[in-house]
Structure 1
Amino acid sequence: MIIFSNGLITLDYEPATDILSVALPDIRNFGTTEVERSLEIIVESITNYDVKKLLLNSSKAIIEVEDVVYRNIIMKFSSDLMKTRLKYLARVGSNMEEQEKRANKVAEEVRYVTNTSITFRNFTDNSEAMEWLLKQ
């Protein structure tokens, strides 16, 4: 069931599996404030629906912001997620090698700095990510 949609993101929550699915768009046409607010909405929805599993599909996301801005956005999003009861996060990456290197670097930093209890895995395919979440 669609629980939120604003033209930037659509949150699709399946209560039977307790999986919240979000496809992240090409954000070149949106400002960082809009992106940050959308990430806050994801966290609010996880809290309100007591979601334990999140599928972030970044396969179509094109991110063209400075490294420090990207890092700050991801660090805040990760910190906010840790305040929820989320247990599993599956991320579907893009086929853009440089973007994935940057995402992996920031993900490693997040794990090091925050000591997160959320189990995180990257995938190359949406169906693999969903299959992993269903097994959890």
Structure 2
Amino acid sequence: MSDDELIAAARAAAEKSYSPYSRFPVGAAFRFADGLVVTGTNIENASYGLSLCAETVAAAKAMDAGVRGGLEAVAVTGPGDEPITPCGRCRQVLNELASLGGTDPDILCVGTSQVHRLKLSALLPHAFGPSSLAAHD
């Protein structure tokens, strides 16, 4: 799947958003080394702290499907012209999934007319992950 197709999958996921409070639909699409693509959308809740980000939903779906490595790229899209980046919580969730396969995936931050490509390590330098806990065994 090309980057353009990955972005299209993220945009399609955003169309399924449940975001009545923020009115900010977000879609995410993950591409894995084996060709698998997993999508997610944000799901809000009247108790705001219980809301789920699109990236977290996609990560949970991937883990539920037994995927434990090979994350190559993530596309994240929102409704505005400016490219959006994963929030801090989602960066940590992405880091956990990427760490399982030892990858540093490309993060495609998508706006209406532009895309910023960053490595996850640039978005979350000095990340805390599974290897951080191994030092304490």
Calculate the TM-score normalised by the size of structure 2: 0.40
Rg larger for: 2
Calculate the TM-score normalised by the size of structure 1: 0.41
Higher relative contact order (CA 8 A, sep 6+): 1
Q: Tell me which protein shows more helix as a share of its residues.
A: 1
